[in-house]
């Protein structure tokens, strides 16, 4: 099969032949043109709140995805092929190499296809419900070099699994752990509740901003760790983190930003609704030897509402909500608690703009807006915004209205205006 990625060796720019069919990339122009496009969009949408800094680019905007999910199928010749689901669809596009995915992933996938054929492991068919292997998940740490392979199957049975694991590790000694995940009724590219470690520890570790993080199969972790380090550094600096500062890390996930704040001396409370992510966050705090951070498995808005009712306070709110942004209830709780600073990390500039409008009305202004190109070749723009509390202008007292003025009505469409008459009387026509 011919390579899908072609490289212009004079410029170093890469192009993908699957651009229109796959949908994983949304931009095909040169990287400098992509940055200009994103800078213009960020300025257009956010400059009304404050100065928008220059977007932070990637030095090498390729092979940055440390999380790679691959699906399998058979072609008309009964040959096993691999690829990705079309964006927003369940139709598979055959891809053997991708310019966004970590380079270590593609050779491992090729070996898995050979082993599937040798051991008669059939790809799962979404239409018929037949077959076994749903997809694979490969997670890589660029800092430690550790590699995790997750085999996601429709049933607990994995034929010749010991031989499969032995052959895969022999071909790729860089693999540090292999996990078998069982997902009998899941949607495409999801993980099931049950996992069995076949090789290694069942997790990998990554280093970020001087901290170490454990990544299990279901952990939420930014897919571009190179840019994430820059993003989080901006967030911690904007928050003015120092010893003794009290921080709430809302939507904390596996605790990354909160742990970095705690490492810099802050007293941190993390809140996360996903119980698995919260569990990972506690493990990560222990991994870094921190006793100045605690995590709670709860809805962030409800947790903060309870804080407000108790009269609790803190200095900085760090929030990294999902793409849908923060809820009105959450913003209301945040404003009621009135932290001096709010650091908003956003992966959706559209919902960020919406939420900033609300915060502005509630007495917060943006003092720092930093776009970061986390997802080259896509339309995505990650942003760090620092909001600081300021005094809202006092509401003007309502002006007194005279009797004559009360008699003035707005002119209805297509009807005459009743005019006030001196002494409260109206002359007959």
Residues with catalytic roles: 347
403, burial (CB in 10 Å: exposed 0-12, middle 13-18, buried 19+): exposed
Say how far residue 111 (Cα) sits from the centre of its chain. Answer: 30
Between the alpha carbon of residue 272 and those of residues 26, 134, 298, the distances in Å are 31, 29, 6
Contacts 24+ apart (CB under 8 A), 256-259: 256/208, 256/211, 256/213, 256/221, 256/222, 256/228, 256/232, 256/284, 257/232, 257/318, 257/320, 257/345, 258/293, 258/295, 258/318, 259/211, 259/213, 259/284, 259/285, 259/288, 259/290, 259/293
Beta-carbon count within 10 A of 311 CB: 7
Geometric angle at alpha carbon 55, from 53 and 60, rounded to 5°: 155
Token pair of 159, please? 């034929």
373 is annotated as contributing to ligand binding = no
DSSP H/E element including 429: none
3-state secondary structure of 12: coil
13 is annotated as contributing to ligand binding = no
How far is Cα 253 from Cα 220, in angstroms, rounded to an integer? 6
How far is Cα 124 from Cα 79, in angstroms, rounded to an integer? 14
382 is annotated as contributing to ligand binding = no
DSSP H/E element including 419: none
320 is annotated as contributing to ligand binding = yes
Token pair of 320, please? 């990294």
For 131-194, give the DSSP string: -SEEEEEEEE-TTT--EEEEEEESSS--TTHHHHHHHHHHH-TTEEEEEEEE-SSPPTT---SE
Between the alpha carbon of residue 332 and those of residues 336, 354, 363, 414, the distances in Å are 6, 14, 12, 43
Token pair of 174, please? 């860089």
Residue 254 contacts residue 283 (beta carbons within 8 Å): no
Q: Which residues are known binding-site members for S-adenosyl-L-methionine?
A: 222, 251, 272, 320
């Amino acid at each position: 099969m011919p390579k899908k990625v072609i490289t212009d060796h004079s410029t170093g720019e890469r192009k993908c032949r699957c651009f229109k069919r796959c949908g994983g990339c949304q931009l095909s122009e040169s990287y400098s043109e992509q940055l200009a496009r994103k800078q213009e969009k960020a300025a257009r949408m956010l400059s009304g709140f404050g100065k928008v800094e220059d977007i932070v680019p990637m030095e090498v905007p390729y092979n940055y995805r440390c999380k790679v999910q691959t699906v399998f199928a058979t072609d008309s010749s009964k040959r096993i092929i691999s690829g990705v689901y079309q964006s927003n669809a369940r139709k598979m596009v055959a891809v053997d190499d991708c310019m966004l995915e970590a380079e270590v992933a593609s050779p491992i996938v090729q070996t898995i296809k050979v082993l599937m054929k040798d051991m008669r492991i059939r790809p799962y068919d979404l239409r018929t419900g037949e077959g076994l292997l749903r997809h694979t998940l490969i997670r890589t740490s660029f800092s430690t070099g550790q590699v995790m392979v997750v085999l996601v199957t429709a049933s607990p049975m994995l034929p010749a699994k010991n031989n499969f694991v032995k052959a895969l590790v022999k071909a790729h000694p860089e693999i540090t752990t292999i996990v078998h995940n069982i997902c009998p009724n899941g949607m495409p590219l999801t993980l099931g509740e049950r996992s069995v470690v076949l090789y290694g520890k069942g997790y990998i570790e990554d280093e970020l901003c001087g901290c170490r993080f454990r990544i299990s199969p279901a952990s939420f972790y930014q897919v571009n760790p190179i840019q994430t380090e820059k993003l989080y550094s901006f967030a911690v600096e904007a928050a003015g983190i120092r010893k003794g500062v009290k921080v709430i890390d809302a939507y904390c996930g596996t605790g990354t930003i909160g742990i970095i704040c705690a490492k810099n001396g802050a007293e941190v409370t993390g809140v996360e609704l996903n119980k698995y992510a919260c569990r990972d966050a506690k493990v990560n705090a222990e991994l870094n030897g921190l006793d100045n951070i605690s995590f709670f498995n709860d809805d962030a808005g409800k947790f903060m509402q309870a804080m407000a009712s108790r009269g609790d306070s803190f200095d900085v709110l760090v929030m990294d909500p999902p793409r849908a942004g923060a809820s009105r209830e959450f913003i209301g709780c945040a404003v009621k608690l009135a932290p001096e600073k709010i650091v908003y990390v956003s992966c959706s500039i559209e919902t960020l703009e919406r939420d900033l409008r609300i915060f502005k009305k509630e007495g917060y202004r943006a003092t720092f807006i930093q776009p970061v190109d986390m997802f080259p070749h896509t339309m995505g723009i990650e942003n760090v915004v620092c909001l600081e509390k300021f005094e809202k202008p006092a509401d003007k007292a309502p002006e007194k209205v005279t009797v004559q003025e009360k008699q003035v009505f707005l002119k209805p469409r297509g009807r005459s205006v009743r005019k006030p008459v001196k002494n409260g009387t109206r002359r007959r026509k």
